[in-house]
Amino acid sequence: MPSSLRLPAPAKLNLMLRIVGRRPDGYHLLQTVFQFLDCCDWITLAARPDGEIRLASPLPGVPEAMDLTVRAARALQAAAGVRQGVTITIEKRLPMGGGLGGGSSDAATTLLGLNRLWGADLAIAELKALGLALGADVPVFIEGAAAWAEGVGERLTPIELPEPWYVVIAPPCHVNTGVVFNAPDLTRDNPSITIADFFAGQQENHCLSVVLANYPVVAQAMDALSRYGRARLTGTGACVFADFPGEAEAQACLRGVSPEWSALLARGLNRSPLQLALERLTT
């Protein structure tokens, strides 16, 4: 058993986002499609014998006890009755509050990595249940496959998607998901669609108008990217993206986008880089 692991925590895109209802507890009922990107945070997990959960370098503005990786480690430690601890090092490369799922992905990588490092041997279903308590996006990162998602995002159906190249712009703002979902002008009773409808082109994001109204810089990023392709919002934002059939077309877009924008080039993936890394550990 290794004493430490360094694992990727990949980004995701929401290729569409529908709001189709609201539960009595206030959570929104969604339909969405998740696909992974080949850009990642990196998480290093170093086992320690004293049972302590420590963060090597807390993220600015995030108290250590509230960090999702720390919460994930503590949840797994309690659920599996583990006596070991861990020092967690996060190499943060994904923007925070951008809709790329960075915090949720970090938590999922922590759960899967510690399940291996500590020899906890919890089943994927148990890890997904722990992850759902941390955030609605965590289960898809644990599952590790591109998916059609319903409920609050936890009911997952794996699907095969094209794997295009994406250009993603990260506007210099942090979109508050609570502000978006509590906006009075957000429509919450949109009709449900099917997977076939999605593939036929129904790929709206019902949060788009609220985000653009409250965050003008996101609207500016949409305009900048729309000159080169179909610009879309991922999740509740702030990141916007456009897809291209090949790397050359995506590179041309990236060169054309003004350098005032923070933009990245990424490949869409139907299998998570985290799952591939964990499989390599067992071969």
- The residues annotated with a catalytic role in the active site are 12, 137
Integer angstrom CA distances of residue 178 from 14, 43, 122: 18, 27, 32
Spatial contact of 120 and 76, defined as CB atoms under 8 Å apart:
yes
Classified as helix, coil or strand, 162 is coil
Rounded CA separation 249/48 (Å): 47
Q: How many CB atoms lie within 10 A of CB 145?
A: 18
Torsions phi, psi for 119 (to 5 deg):
65, 35
In the block, residue with structure tokens 């490369």: 93
Rounded CA separation 138/140 (Å): 6
- As beta bridge partners, residue 48 has 85
Which parts of the chain are beta strand (E)?
Answer: 4-22, 28-48, 53-55, 85-91, 147-151, 155-158, 165-169, 232-233, 240-244, 263-269
Cis omega before residue 238 (within 30°)? yes
Which parts of 52-195 are beta strand (E)?
Answer: 53-55, 85-91, 147-151, 155-158, 165-169
Count of positions (residues) in the chain: 283
Spatial contact of 15 and 163, defined as CB atoms under 8 Å apart:
no
Which amino acid makes up residue 239?
A: C
